[in-house]
Structure 1
Amino acid sequence: MTASNRRQFSRIAFHAPGQLVCGGGQDEVAVVDLSLRGALLRHKGSGPQPGIGDNCVLHVRLGQLDALIRMQGTVAHLDGPFLGLACHSIDLDSATHLRRLVELNLGDTALLERELAALVGED
Structure 2
Amino acid sequence: MVERRRFSRIIYQAPATIRQGGTVVEANIQDLSLHGLLLSTDGNNAELNCDILADIEFTLPSSDIVISLVANLIGIQKNIIHASIDHIDIESIAHIKRLVELNVGNDDLLHRELEHLSDLGEHLSDMGEQL
Matches within 5 A, 1:27-106: 27-44=25-42, 46=44, 48-106=46-104
CA distance in 1, matches of 2:14, 2:43: 14
Does 2:118 align with 1:120?
Answer: yes
Instruction: Give aligned-pair identity as a percent.
Output: 32
Which letter maps to 2:27? V
Which letter maps to 1:115? E
Secondary structure of the equivalent of 2:46?
A: coil
Q: How many residues align?
A: 121
Contact 2:50 2:74 in 1 (8 A): yes
Query: Quick one: structure 1 residues 66 and 35, their matched pair in 2 at CA, closer, same or farther if it must change by over 3 Å?
Result: same
CA distance in 2, matches of 1:49, 1:113: 38
Per-residue CA deviation, residues 34-79 of structure 1 (Å, 9 max, x unaligned), is: 1111100112374634132231011010012111111111110122
Structure 2: gaps spanning 5 or more residues: 125-131
Structure 1 stretches of 4+ with a deviation exceeding 4 A read none
Secondary structure of the equivalent of 1:113?
A: helix
CA distance in 1, matches of 2:33, 2:51: 19
Greater per-residue strand proportion: 1
RMSD: 1.6
TM-score normalised according to structure 1 size: 0.90
CA distance in 2, matches of 1:11, 1:18: 17
Q: Which has the larger radius of gyration?
A: 2
Which letter maps to 1:116? L
CA distance in 2, matches of 1:33, 1:63: 15
Q: Answer with 50-59 or 11-20: which moved more.
A: 50-59
CA distance in 1, matches of 2:93, 2:112: 16
